[in-house]
Amino acid sequence: MNKIEGVILDWAGTAVDFGCFAPVNVFVDIFRNAGIDVTMEEARAPMGMLKIDHIRAMLSMPRVSGLWEEKYGRAFNEEDVERLYGEFEPALMASLSTYTDPIPGVIETVKELRGRGLRIGSTTGYTAGMMEVVVSYAERKGYRPDVFFTPDDTHSCGRPYPYMIYRNMEHLKLSAAWKVVKVGDTASDIKEGVNAGVWSVGVAVGSSEMGLSPEEFESLSESERAEAIMSTRQTFIRHGADFTIDTMRDLPALIERIDGLLSEGKRPGHHYE
């Protein structure tokens, strides 16, 4: 039967932690401790990657690498990456449990999808140790997917590699990539889905890409919200998303639409909006 069998969700910024603030603040802090002032935009740009890869990507940014050379008189090296990551992990772990609230609409959406017989997987840029905290606290608050995989399960090959998605497919017994939907809130999420050959969907509200807290989003006027959503969706489209949605509440209707496309013989890899 040509229908979607499973949905694979990202965690922070998609399922929990509206705005994906847990890691962002820590990235800014560890660079500041090293004498480098990075912007929130720079801290967010590689979001979704394995966190040590994220630090490496930030150090590789022309402005940041220039500041590093100016301060230290040399280019950054792997020892610098590992030292920064050594500060990052304990700092994140100390605050992680407070950033595990499910994003509005997620619990209801997952319940509806399960009611249709779909399986719910997940991937993340967090390590297995970080996910022990996130999964435990999120479950107490009503959210738990059927399975989760981290880059630790794929020899540290996180996004944009597709391997975490493939591990989900194997575990959940999903029969074909084109019967799977991946939903995320970053460019890395979209690339992960594209590279896996699944339907790649970007969700705007609550996303790291939008970068707003619930209070900041609520304070926007209707036209400002529409503009923020449109800008975020355009970013996902530029990175290859098949579809974009405003919120997770829009996902069940989108999956019905994808089922219709599958019945027509359509496959992922095109922008259908």
Check 10, 17, 53, 250 and give the catalytic one. 10
Confirm whether residue 75 is marked as ligand binding.
Answer: no
Check 29, 37, 51, 53 and give the catalytic one. 51
Confirm whether residue 153 is marked as ligand binding.
Answer: no
Q: Which residues contact 252 (CB under 8 A, 6 or more apart)?
A: 109, 112, 113, 116
Active site residue 51: yes
- Burial (CB count within 10 angstroms: exposed 0-12, middle 13-18, buried 19+), residue 62: exposed
Torsion angle of alpha carbons 194, 198, 204, 207, nearest 10°?
-80
Q: Whats the size of the chain, residue-wise?
A: 273
Distance CA 165, CA 171 (A): 10
Contact 253/260 with Cβ under 8 angstroms? no
Token pair, residue 84, equals 């920064």
Distance CA 247, CA 205 (A): 5
Q: Which bin fits 226, alpha (ψ -120 to 50), beta or left (φ > 0)? A: alpha
Token pair, residue 10, equals 């990202």
Active site residue 111: no
Looking up tokens 């979001």 gives 47
Confirm whether residue 185 is marked as ligand binding.
Answer: yes
Count CB-CB contacts under 10 A for residue 177.
Answer: 18
Looking up tokens 């990052």 gives 88
Kindly list the distances between the CA atom of residue 11 and the CA atoms of 16, 101, 182, 221, in Å, as whole numbers in the listed order: 6, 11, 12, 28
DSSP summary character for residue 149: B
Annotated binding site for Mg(2+): 10, 12, 185
- Please give the positions annotated as active site: 10, 51
Annotated binding site: 10, 12, 185
